[in-house]
């Protein structure tokens, strides 16, 4: 164990000497801003098939007077992660063989404070976001490599095997437009959520509407709500309620809810749209479909659809199928486009 640690730190020293950019954050930004600063070639990935290759992106919030300081911090974090990735490259003698993943790429780039893809928990902080809990360990390792205590958050809107570090501290909230986030209680509310997002983007100026839809599940209230946490945000929250009610319809029954006790957990200007459990559409019909080139291999009771026909075209021909959910059940081989056996649940509105 001692010899392994000695070898680890020796290699760290060698890498730092060979890669001056890792020790000079400003140089990293000038040379590699918006670019990949570490990557593993395809041949190496092929020789290490048991590992899940993880891509890491370090972003810093730009657009205000504190942008430069975040740029430097992001460069330092990216350099530390890149060094850690090199030490655990499959070709490296320092690799910990117990790791079940490797790092495919490390990138660093800016993101504007007004970008709608910045998550709620990232504004005013530095965080690591992962798409699923199984990447928690990988996030902890790269967090330790930076020497900083960086909180980890689950963001199911991210791509699989993708870790995102967002450096967005010291934000002047007064300079950031209000942000609106939409939550749903179940997947069958996604259409209503998208209608709300589109209406908000078109109907209210000087706000940032997050394009992602947060799945709250059991945390959702029974009724639909517009939540705000600071009294000055009531004007925006009221406007949001009016627009969403018009987009979704009177069935939404949106309540305006002021939650000052939770203000410490949110930035000023944060408004949340919650679609409650009562706003659940009732399915009109359920179909079992078989998408394939020919219908010969489709199981009895399923409806054949040519794989060259978009499923949306088929759905429009069905009564009460304004939108649908598709759950793939199995795949049967046999021709160049295969046979997907799926359950289609149609909804009238």
Q: Domains, the chain, ranges and CATH?
A: 2-167 (no CATH), 177-275 (3.30.70.2390), 285-347 (no CATH)
Of residues 32 and 255, which shows the higher confidence score?
255
- Model confidence at 1: pLDDT above 90: no
Question: Which of the pair, 173 or 336, is modelled with greater confidence?
Answer: 173
Confidence of residue 96 (pLDDT cuts 50, 70, 90): low
Average pLDDT over residues 123-151: 88
pLDDT at residue 154 in the model: 87
Q: Which of 40, 24, 27 is nearest to 91 (CA)?
A: 40
For residue 277, the model assigns a pLDDT of: 80
Look at residue 14 in the predicted model and tell me its pLDDT. 41
Query: Above pLDDT 90, what percent of the chain?
Result: 26
pLDDT single digits (tens) 72-85: 999 999 999 999 88
Please provide the average confidence, as pLDDT, over all residues in the chain. Answer: 80
Top mean pLDDT of 25-29, 32-36, 62-66, 180-184 is at 180-184
Q: What is the pLDDT of residue 82?
A: 92
- Region 284-293: mean pLDDT is 85
Is residue 285 within 8 Å of residue 343, measured between CB atoms?
no
In this prediction, residues 249-256 reach a mean pLDDT of: 76
The more confident residue out of 76 and 46 is 76
What pLDDT shows up at residue 120? 81
pLDDT in tens, 141-151: 888 888 888 99
pLDDT in tens, 259-284: 999 988 888 889 999 998 877 667 77
């Amino acid at each position: 164990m001692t010899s392994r640690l000695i070898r680890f730190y020796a290699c760290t020293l060698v890498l730092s000497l060979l890669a001056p950019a890792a020790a000079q954050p400003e140089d990293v930004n000038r040379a590699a801003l918006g670019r990949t600063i570490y990557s593993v070639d395809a041949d190496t990935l092929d020789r290490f098939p048991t590992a899940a290759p993880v891509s890491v992106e370090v972003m810093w919030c730009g657009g205000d007077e504190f942008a430069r300081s975040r740029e430097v911090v992001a460069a330092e974090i990216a350099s530390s992660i890149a060094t850690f990735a090199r030490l655990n490259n499959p070709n490296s003698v320092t690799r910990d063989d117990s790791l079940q993943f490797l790092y495919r790429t490390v990138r660093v780039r800016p993101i504007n404070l007004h970008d709608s893809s910045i998550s709620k928990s990232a504004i005013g902080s530095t965080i690591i976001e992962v798409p699923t809990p199984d990447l928690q360990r990988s996030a902890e390792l790269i967090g330790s490599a930076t020497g900083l205590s960086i909180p980890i958050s689950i963001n199911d809107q991210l791509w699989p095997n993708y870790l995102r570090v967002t450096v967005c501290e010291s934000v002047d909230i007064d300079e950031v437009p209000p942000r609106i986030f939409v939550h749903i209680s179940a997947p069958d509310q996604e259409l209503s959520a998208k209608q709300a997002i589109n209406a908000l983007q078109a109907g209210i100026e000087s706000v940032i509407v997050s394009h992602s839809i947060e799945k709250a599940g059991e945390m959702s209230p029974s009724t639909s709500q517009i939540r705000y946490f600071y009294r000055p945000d009531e004007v925006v929250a009221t406007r949001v309620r009016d627009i969403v009610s018009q987009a979704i319809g009177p069935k939404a029954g949106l309540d305006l809810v002021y939650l000052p006790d939770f203000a410490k957990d949110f930035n000023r200007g944060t408004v949340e749209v919650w679609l409650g459990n009562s706003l659940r559409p009732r399915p009109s019909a359920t179909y079992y479909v078989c998408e394939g080139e020919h219908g010969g291999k489709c199981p009895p009771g399923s409806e054949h659809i040519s794989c060259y026909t978009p499923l949306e075209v088929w759905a429009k021909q069905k009564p009460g199928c304004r939108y649908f959910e598709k759950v793939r059940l199995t795949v049967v081989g046999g021709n160049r486009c295969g046979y997907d056996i799926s359950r289609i649940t149609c909804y009238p509105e």
